[in-house]
Homo-oligomer: A and B are copies of this chain.
């Protein structure tokens, strides 16, 4: 068996046998144990990372992943409720609020002719103090005047409904596996190039008019999608 596979096996068993374990031995401890080098040890570690079994924190070490949040994109459940049902402690933090022009892709999604002005809300969501998702929400500045003074760490849907009388009736989500953009990686406290599930959610009103355009980047090991269909 390949050396990095042996190291992987060893760590896999270590994790299985010690459910209380939070942190792995350091890379240098491992290379001594296996008479190897950092390259090889890191090969084993990055495989386990790709599998969603461990994750790293910049210069702090390698840690074992807690269970994934299960989420059904078809059902409308808010993040707080979902997290609490699954015994996580949720937290949403506002990163930034701007009112500005948006990229062509987003402008086009709103089917505007000339470039429009948008609110851009950036937030980070955490479970048990671990950042798991960063999102960017775009909506029309003209439609949601004074949005910056609303409680933006709570449910945006609720603000749309209660403060603006705007109801989301249906949405379209697109999911791909990719790498987290560098600027978002920092917010999530993960290394650059880390894997994510990128979700683009477009939410519409009953007239099929786009209400908001939402970019979500989930740390890949923190989420599991569950969908029912008939």
Contacts and interface: CB of A to CB of B under 8 A. Distances in A.
A225 B176 CA distance: 7
Chain A contact residues, majority secondary structure: strand
A226 B48 CA distance: 28
Contacts of A193: 46-47, 50
A147 B53 CA distance: 37
Nearest to A169: B230
A104 to B, nearest CB: 15
Interface residues of A, number: 36
Nearest to A73: B227
A179 interface: yes
- The quantity of this chain's copies bound in the complex is 2
A176 B177 CA distance: 10
A39 interface: yes
Contacts of A51: 178-179
A176 B74 CA distance: 16
A195 B221 CA distance: 12
Interface string A175-196: 1111100000000000001010
Contacts of A169: 230
Interface string A216-229: 00001101111111
A116 B141 CA distance: 60
Interface string A96-136: 00000000000000000000000000000000000000000
Interface of A: 39, 46-47, 50-52, 68, 70, 73-76, 169-179, 193, 195, 197, 220-221, 223-230
21 contacts: A39-B39, A46-B193, A50-B178, A50-B193, A51-B178, A52-B176, A52-B178, A169-B230, A170-B228, A172-B226, A172-B227, A172-B229, A173-B225, A173-B226, A173-B229, A174-B225, A175-B175, A175-B225, A176-B225, A177-B195, A177-B197
